[in-house]
Chain A
Amino acid sequence: MKQDTALPDRVLDPAGDGIIRDRVVRTIYSHAEYIAARTVKPADTRRVDWDGKIDDILTSRWLGFPVMMALLGAVIWLTVAGANVPSELIASALFRVQDWLAGLFVRAGLPSWAEGFFVHGVYRTLAWVVSVMLPPMAIFFPLFTLLEDLGYLPRVAFNLDNFFKRAGAHGKQSLTMSMGFGCNAAGVIACRIIESPRERIIAILTNVFVPCNGRFPTLITLSSVFMGGMAATAYGVAAAAAAVAGMVLAGLWVTLVTSRVLSKTLLRGMPSSFTLELPPYRKPQVGRILVRSIMDRTVFVLGRAVTVAAPAGGIVWLLANIRVGEMSVIGLLAGTLEPFGRALGLDGHILTAFILGLPANEIVLPILIMSYLSTGSMASLDSLEALRVLLVEDHGWTWITALCTMLFSLLHFPCATTLLTIRQETKSLKWTLTAALIPLAAACLVCFTVAQAARALGLC
């Protein structure tokens, strides 16, 4: 009788030793083995297992990481080298349209504020966003989709698994980070693939450290101007690409450090294990890659940027042109933030641009330029050289300013869309706020350290 009452306890005990499940699984596996032995004639074992050989290299202890770095470098190099010329072509074409539009406004007898708002505010911001973003995206996305289609991303996850495990995070986080390259909101949604709630939150909170498409062009533009000497020579292109790749690595490093700190403090726990299958390499379907990366990614991201940039451009023009006493509103804001900006190696205008750029990171650089132009003398900006003159000669940028701006862009709070997505995915205001504050703190800390160190060493 004793045994009768013992059964339900045992049956409903989830902390049981799993003996029954082991037996069940063993039975299932033995059936699968039996059936496979009778139905599958394996490939001739003398045949070379290419997949295995390639995996031995791509995921090897010593070569895995260098190969990964080389591929990252190559993708970024192609993007930087290829984006420059089309960017300038698009820019000069779009700015010619700007002149024509301005003429149209004048001939129609419209007031000058209308011309300013629509042409110098809305249109110019749009032109900037399109000419700066479109070429790098049209190169980066197909290359990235190609690596995805070949089956390389799971190998990246395999290589990085150990790092994430040591940081107390989930190995799949490298996959959600990869999604973040396109858009951090997409990366946050991708965190659904992580089952453990603790590790999912870690992945969500740190996803912003991957430079998304809104920030990639900013990084590329600034590295081309400052690190690559206008990327005019092959050496300059390589230096600019190295700077951008360095930013991506810095983002990875901050991700690991933050994950580790989180898993020791707010989100204490052990990393859970998972099965990572390395799928066979497949021949990429080039046509489909082009369609998918251009239609689904490039057009989608650009469309989103354009819808945010148009109204934001108008609003920023108003802020730059509505005067309170002697100063424009944006000038006042910049003046207030100036001391904070200086401490971080930036200036008040740069900090203002990041704050006003909350709706979308794509518009940070256009806002900054407009804010500079409202106080400067230049009327239009259609080349990298013009940008260099504006930043260096009119506003005293050094390469430390550029480096700090790039670091701040890499690490600062996520854009509004991403924050809303985090709110949706975590259903928690607390985590949403944390997701904004952690990156902000990281950005301030890193920029402050870099700026002060550079000053102490007399580098600027």
Chain B
Amino acid sequence: MLSDRLPTEGIRKKFNITKKSSGQKVVALAGNPNTGKSTIFNALTGLRQHTGNWPGKTVIQTRGTFSYGGSSYILVDLPGTYSLLASSADEQAARDFLCFAQPDATVAVADATCLERNLNLVLQVMEITSRVVVCVNLIDEARRKKISIDLEELSAQLGVPVVATAARSGLGIAELKERIHQVAFGKLTTNPRRLVYDPEIEEAVSCLEHSLKALIPPGVNSRWLSLRILEGDRTVLDAMREYSSKISYGREPAVETGHCPAGSRA
């Protein structure tokens, strides 16, 4: 009853996500292109899939459902992107969903054969949401190439659970489901690695964040939004208008700087 009135449900509806029951969890699937993301998606959902468009964008949205441990999950396949910083339609769709629809868990898929490149996106995902499971896919290919990955250390460094998978053969999918379950139901608390920027940026972010909090729905990551505003990303302001009822349409959100100590600068 109560959960239906949470504002997040309203925002999720704007992303074409409607729960069948209040207990159903929403899981996002993020990752670089060519990491076998859709193979993971297929392995998790089987044939229970629907395709549509991301609202207002000519980007394909694929959704599916799966059950695990007696609960049901809606899995949303985000567009494959290399970052969440620039502003192509794909990247906007992915980051708006992560930021405003607040999925109960997010699977960040990384290619084991070029992990470093993929970690950039994983870190950006973790910066928006803490409920992350990292899926190191194509582990069989990495092993064949004699690349070895210390999964325990990776999990310790990132502060979130890490699962190695070879989605083509189904390896690791059961464990991935278990981890999604644990994170989505809060049975496993993550402690994501925090990216700390230059003192100047940090100072500007903290004062922006202060005035931003009143303007955004509860739970939405104000630190991440502040960083994007600081970078001068206008598309993020559009997204705030779209998904926050507290900002009326057509008005620039007023970002006050009264809280900032004199002398601070970007």
Residues on A close to B: CB < 8 A?
A: 1, 3-4, 6-8, 10-16, 18, 20-21, 23-25, 27-29, 31-36, 38-44, 47, 192, 195, 275, 277, 279-280, 282, 285, 425
* Contact sample, A vs B, 17 pairs, CB 8 Å cutoff: A3-B263, A14-B232, A20-B232, A21-B232, A24-B85, A28-B120, A28-B124, A32-B122, A35-B116, A39-B153, A40-B116, A40-B148, A41-B150, A44-B146, A277-B32, A280-B113, A280-B141
Which residues in chain B, 145-174, are within 8 Å of chain A measured between CB atoms?
Answer: 145-151, 153-154, 157-158, 168
Which residues of B lie under 8 Å from residue A275 when comparing CB positions?
Answer: 82
Residue on B with the closest CB to A44?
B146
Which residues of A lie under 8 Å from residue B201 when comparing CB positions?
Answer: 20, 23-24
State whether B148 touches A41 (Cβ < 8 A): yes
Quick check: is B255 within 8 A (CB to CB) of the other chain?
Answer: yes
State whether B266 touches A7 (Cβ < 8 A): yes
A32 to chain B, nearest CB (A): 4
Count A-B pairs with CB separation below 8 Å: 132
State whether B197 touches A7 (Cβ < 8 A): no
Which residues of A lie under 8 Å from residue B146 when comparing CB positions?
Answer: 43-44, 47
State whether B33 touches A277 (Cβ < 8 A): yes
Bound complex: CA of A43 vs CA of B142, how far in Å?
9
Other A-B pairs, 12, CB within 8 Å; known A6-B265, A44-B146: A11-B255, A12-B255, A14-B234, A23-B201, A27-B198, A32-B116, A32-B122, A36-B116, A39-B150, A47-B145, A277-B34, A425-B58
Quick check: is B119 within 8 A (CB to CB) of the other chain?
Answer: yes
Which residues of B lie under 8 Å from residue A4 when comparing CB positions?
Answer: 257, 260, 262
B143 to chain A, nearest CB (A): 10
Knowing A36-B115, A192-B60, A280-B141, say if A31 contacts B195 (CB, 8 Å). Answer: yes
A146 to chain B, nearest CB (A): 17
Which residues of B lie under 8 Å from residue A23 when comparing CB positions?
Answer: 197-198, 201
State whether B195 touches A42 (Cβ < 8 A): no
Bound complex: CA of A85 vs CA of B212, how far in Å?
71
B32, B123, B153, B231: which contacts A28 (Cβ < 8 A)?
A: B123
Bound complex: CA of A21 vs CA of B196, how far in Å?
14
Bound complex: CA of A7 vs CA of B264, how far in Å?
8
Residue on A with the closest CB to B263?
A3
Quick check: is B44 within 8 A (CB to CB) of the other chain?
Answer: no
Bound complex: CA of A137 vs CA of B209, how far in Å?
58
Chain A interface, DSSP helix/strand/loop, else mixed: helix
Residue on A with the closest CB to B157?
A35
Quick check: is B193 within 8 A (CB to CB) of the other chain?
Answer: yes
State whether B34 touches A11 (Cβ < 8 A): no
Which residues in chain B, 89-146, are within 8 Å of chain A measured between CB atoms?
Answer: 89-90, 113, 115-117, 119-120, 122-124, 141, 145-146
Quick check: is B233 within 8 A (CB to CB) of the other chain?
Answer: yes
State whether A40 touches B58 (Cβ < 8 A): no
- The 10 lowest CB-CB distance pairs between A and B, nearest first, are A36-B116, A32-B119, A279-B34, A195-B88, A39-B154, A43-B146, A41-B148, A16-B232, A21-B231, A35-B157
A19 to chain B, nearest CB (A): 9
Quick check: is B215 within 8 A (CB to CB) of the other chain?
Answer: no
State whether A43 touches B232 (Cβ < 8 A): no
Quick check: is B220 within 8 A (CB to CB) of the other chain?
Answer: no
A3, A192, A282: which contacts B264 (Cβ < 8 A)?
A: A3
Quick check: is B229 within 8 A (CB to CB) of the other chain?
Answer: yes
B126 to chain A, nearest CB (A): 10
Knowing A24-B197, A24-B201, A279-B34, say if A11 contacts B88 (CB, 8 Å). Answer: no
State whether A40 touches B115 (Cβ < 8 A): yes
Which residues of A lie under 8 Å from residue B188 when comparing CB positions?
Answer: none
Quick check: is B230 within 8 A (CB to CB) of the other chain?
Answer: yes
State whether A39 touches B85 (Cβ < 8 A): no
Quick check: is B204 within 8 A (CB to CB) of the other chain?
Answer: yes
Quick check: is B43 within 8 A (CB to CB) of the other chain?
Answer: no
State whether B147 touches A40 (Cβ < 8 A): yes
Bound complex: CA of A25 vs CA of B124, how far in Å?
10
Which residues of B lie under 8 Å from residue A285 when comparing CB positions?
Answer: 168
Knowing A33-B116, A35-B119, A280-B141, say if A12 contacts B147 (CB, 8 Å). Answer: no
Bound complex: CA of A42 vs CA of B113, how far in Å?
9
Which residues of A lie under 8 Å from residue B149 when comparing CB positions?
Answer: 39-41
Knowing A27-B195, A28-B123, A280-B113, say if A3 contacts B157 (CB, 8 Å). Answer: no
Knowing A4-B257, A35-B154, A195-B88, say if A20 contacts B147 (CB, 8 Å). Answer: no
Residue on B with the closest CB to A3?
B265
Most buried by B among A16, A20, A43, A44: A20
Which residues in chain B, 223-238, are within 8 Å of chain A measured between CB atoms?
Answer: 227, 229-234, 237
Bound complex: CA of A31 vs CA of B122, how far in Å?
11
State whether A32 touches B58 (Cβ < 8 A): no
A282 to chain B, nearest CB (A): 8
